[in-house]
Structures are given as structure tokens and as C-alpha cells.
Chains A and B, each alone.
Chain A
């Protein structure tokens, strides 16, 4: 560990009630709130003045890995992560206050999604599957627990979700025989409270997955305090491209699951890709909204999933309200009575190669979407893409169990009408796939990034660009907050964080 303390901040601690009702001067979890809407009510930055946004500061990690995390803001301090690293940064000046570095390890360092805060602690997962609680004031370790065995092939990029005193952390892993697991630990002590398995742990037969393992929960879930339910997406089954050895639907892989956060018990599950054969994790954010759906008030859950379909569920019951493609898809024969796409076996990986849309990186992926309650638009970084999938049993039936190659893709910011699934507008952002998440505002703005490295503000109603700055490739979701009466927009470009705000004295 290296600990560089350059200043002492006077953190007052995050009151657990703040997590339910985040103040304007905060961004307290990956989504900025429990709903996953990534939508702000801050109203200083508008379509009329957004063209005047200026860079206020830049924070450089000084390291090569890109920032893929959503920063957390609490008590004027930003916490930003990369694999094995977390920095505490003064949100007014970008001055680094402390830096914690996990010891070097050989786990997979693909990226990191962010930290979490509770009371006076900041929580960091590491590639080698530790969950570390750090003192928010100085970065000193309060406790450090192992959440999975990285030597078996697990790793963690997860930004924890905290509900009450439960710190819920997930892991990743595509090797065979790795059960999908979400673990809750005590926020004060690190003691394990419960583990939810999406596929059977060693020696168990439940849940009845048809022989599949996997189903990792590597992204941050959402939470409905009224129903006291946590919603989490689960990843692909393993073996990945060979379904012959795991017959059936393989629950609860590629699913959205609703869990009781106090017990970890499954309340309901909805499988968005039954018997997945293409590595289409359903880990995309399950966005919550209370809204009318075709004339009836509903507690909704929406997901634009990696498999190319947009799902709207009643989040009380898990029943489907709408399933519609939001990107180019050719792998399903139709929609079943439960609202699930019906896989077409002709699109399963094959010896002579099968051309499939979307490709393995998906119609969307880790990049968080946003729901704008004002317009009813669900805005997602989407890709129309194709890949070739191969499977030859004589090359091995386990592990990845085949090969796939992306052929081509085109990236878009795409606005979906949540009541019909229809695309309201479609904003091209380059070739390949986008990597930036989306933030919307009550004032009618959509912030995101393109493939070329521009951060952009679009008009939410029609997707027209109103502002942009070239900052380098955006790999995270934008956040916003208000400090000292000024609204900030914070995004990552490469391995730097950038803060933008309106200039002083500018008419607003």
C-alpha cells in the first residue's frame, strides 16, 4: 500500500438517510441515487446557456489506466477509482487529498466502476477480490475482507451498492465452475451477512441452472425503498459459447433479479436472454421509475440490455410490460408469453461461423443509460453491430468453448420511448461502440460522449448537439452536483477527470 496524505478534510460522514435522498451537493453512489435514472434536478445549466460551459479544473491520475468509474462526491470530496487505486480529490480545486493503492496482484485489471460511501467510510473493491473500507478523511484502512478467490478466476470491478448497513458487492469471471455471487457485508465490520447465488455454488444444485455456472453480478444494482427490493443484472452462463452441456434456460444467468437486501433471498427473476449463447450479460442498469404506463400508474423497471432488447417490467412482480428491440438484432425468433426473446438455434455458434447481431460487445454494455422523466425518454449508448461466432466441439467444450470476432459496428446515442419501445431519435457517435454513459437533466439536456473523444451536451427532446469539448475517450458516466451555488459537470477523458461549469457573471 502507498498512502499519500496531503491534506486533512473534515468529512462529516454520509448519513444513511442521505443515500435515500441525496443532497444537491453530492453524488453518493454509482448512479447518483437508488433509481439508476442518472437524472438531475439541478437547473443552472440549461439548453440556452450550455454553450458557455467552461473547464474549471482537471485532475490527472498520473497513471495509464483509463478512468471508467463514476466518481462519488461526499462532503466536498470526490472519490475516483481505477483498478487497485482510489483518490480523494477536493471537488472545488482538483487537489489530491489522499491516494490509496492496493498491493500489486495478478488478477484481471480490465477496469473499475467506482467506490461507495457510508458514514465516514469509503469502500473499494479490488481486482484480487478484496473489499476494503477506508477512512474517508485520510484513506487509512479500517478493514479489508476477501469477497472471492481471484486465483480461481474471479476479479472485481464493482462499485458497491449500499442499502442500510449492507454493502453489496459483486464479482466477475468467465471460467467454468464459478458460481455467480453477490455478497452483502456489514458496513461497519466487513462481516458477511449473506450471499446470493445466481447459479449453484460448489456442492449445491440450487438454483437449478441446467448445469450452467456464471451469471456474475459485476455492475451496481438499484433499490426501491418502498418495496425494499434490490435489482441486479446477472451475467452470461458458462461454458460461454457451448450450450450443449448446459441445457435449458440456465436461470439465473442473463437475468434481472429482485432481492431482499436484508436476507439476500430471491423475490423474483426475469431472464432477458434464456440460454444465452453469445456472452450477452444482462448487467446493464435496471433503471427504476414510478410513471404511467399506457394510462396506468406503475412501478417500472427498465433495462436496455446487451442482447439488443429493451425491457419494461413491473418491478413489484417482475412481470413483463414491454419487450422491443432497440438495436439491430437477428438472434431471436420472437417474444414468448413471458416477454422473453426466443433464441433462434440457427444463430448459435457453429463450426462454419454464424453472423449474429449484436456482436459480443453488445447493443449496449457497462456504460450507464439515463431516464428522463420529463420526456419519458430512455437514452442509451447503443451499437448496431455484427459478429461471427464459432464453436467446434473438437476444440474443447468448456471454458469460452469457441471463438467470436467482431465484424463491424456503428455507435449511436438512442432515445427510446419507454411506453412503446420506439426510437424517438438516433444520434450517430462514430464507428464501433461508444463507451460513455449518459446523464440527463430536468432542464432538457443530455450529456454523454462520442467515439472520437468529445464530451457533448444534446437537447433531450430531439438529440441535437448544443455543446462539446474534446477531452479524450470517455469511459464513464457523467455526474453533476452543486457546490457553493454552482453546478458542475464532471466527466472522465482518458485517465483524467474534467469539471465544467458556467463562467462567473454569465447571464443564466
Chain B
């Protein structure tokens, strides 16, 4: 149930958010988001190489499907939870 509500773990491993970074030169780097804090963004390029970039020096756009999952947590009702649990119980 935990993974159904917020699927950050499991097999297959959920995909990391997509990120597109535009450098000062105008060049774009696209890949998966390895990590992020207020100051830096770390991108895994298609070859798996890590690129750490200062946020203040680039433009970037993150497509994170998990954000919708988080927003949804505040909308589930107790009845929703019960129904999901009842469904999972039938899988036994």
C-alpha cells in the first residue's frame, strides 16, 4: 500500500524524474535527476555520467511525476484507503 501511494521504491525501480538543463552557452543537457538541493542539481546524462551544476548558473526544468502523487495524498479519503486495502487483500 505504501508503494502504491508513493512509489519511490520497488521492483522495477521507479524512473527518476526527467530534467532538462540549459547552460549559459545555450546548450541543453537532458537526463535523469540524480539529486537536487537548493543550490545544485545533479543530472545523469544518457550515458550515466553525473553532471553537477550550480542552479544559479543554469536554467532547468524538472518533470517529476512523484509530485502529483504527493499532492494526491491530501485528497484520499478514509473510504479510498479502505477500498485500496480491500483490493490488495483480494490479491492474496
Contact = CB atoms under 8 A, between A and B. Distances in A.
B78 A407 contact: no
Contact of B6 (A357, A407, A465): A407
Given A407-B2, A408-B6, A346 B37 contact: no
A488 B65 CA distance: 43
A80 interface: no
Contact of B76 (A347, A355, A465): A355
A328 B35 contact: no
Contacts of B2: 388, 405, 407
Contacts, number: 55
A326 to B, nearest CB: 16
A408 to B, nearest CB: 4
A356 to B, nearest CB: 10
A407 B37 contact: no
Contacts of A429: 38
B74 interface: yes
B81 A408 contact: no
Contacts of A465: 38
B3 to A, nearest CB: 9
A354 B74 contact: no
A103 to B, nearest CB: 39
Contacts of B78: 346-347, 354-355
A389 to B, nearest CB: 10
A386 B81 contact: no
Interface residues of A, number: 25
B37 A450 contact: yes
B5 A407 contact: yes
Contact of B85 (A353, A428, A452, A468): A353
B39 A468 contact: yes
Could you say which of A355, A357, A388, A452 has the most chain B C-beta atoms within 10 Å of its C-beta? A355
Given A407-B2, A407-B5, A355 B73 contact: yes
Interface string A373-408: 000000000000010100000000000000001011
Contacts of A328: 74
Q: How large is the interface on B (under 10, 10 to 19, 20 to 34, 35 or more residues)?
A: 10 to 19
B82 interface: yes
B70 A388 contact: no
B91 interface: no
A381 to B, nearest CB: 14
Nearest to B37: A452
B35 A452 contact: yes
Given A388-B2, A450-B38, A353 B81 contact: yes
A454 B37 CA distance: 9
A467 B75 CA distance: 37
Contacts of A433: none
A352 B70 contact: no
Nearest to A456: B38
B6 A352 contact: no
Contacts of A408: 5-6, 8, 69-70, 73
Contacts of B5: 355, 386, 388, 407-408
B86 interface: yes
Contacts of B70: 408, 410
B62 to A, nearest CB: 13
A454 B36 CA distance: 12
Interface string B54-78: 0000000000000001100110101
Q: Which 9 A-B pairs have the closest CB atoms?
A: A452-B37, A352-B85, A408-B6, A386-B73, A407-B6, A405-B2, A352-B82, A407-B5, A355-B81
25 contacts: A328-B74, A330-B74, A352-B81, A352-B86, A353-B85, A354-B78, A354-B81, A355-B5, A355-B73, A355-B76, A388-B5, A405-B2, A407-B2, A407-B6, A407-B73, A408-B70, A408-B73, A410-B70, A429-B38, A430-B37, A450-B37, A452-B35, A452-B37, A452-B38, A454-B39
Interface of B: 1-2, 5-6, 8, 35, 37-39, 69-70, 73-74, 76, 78, 81-82, 85-86
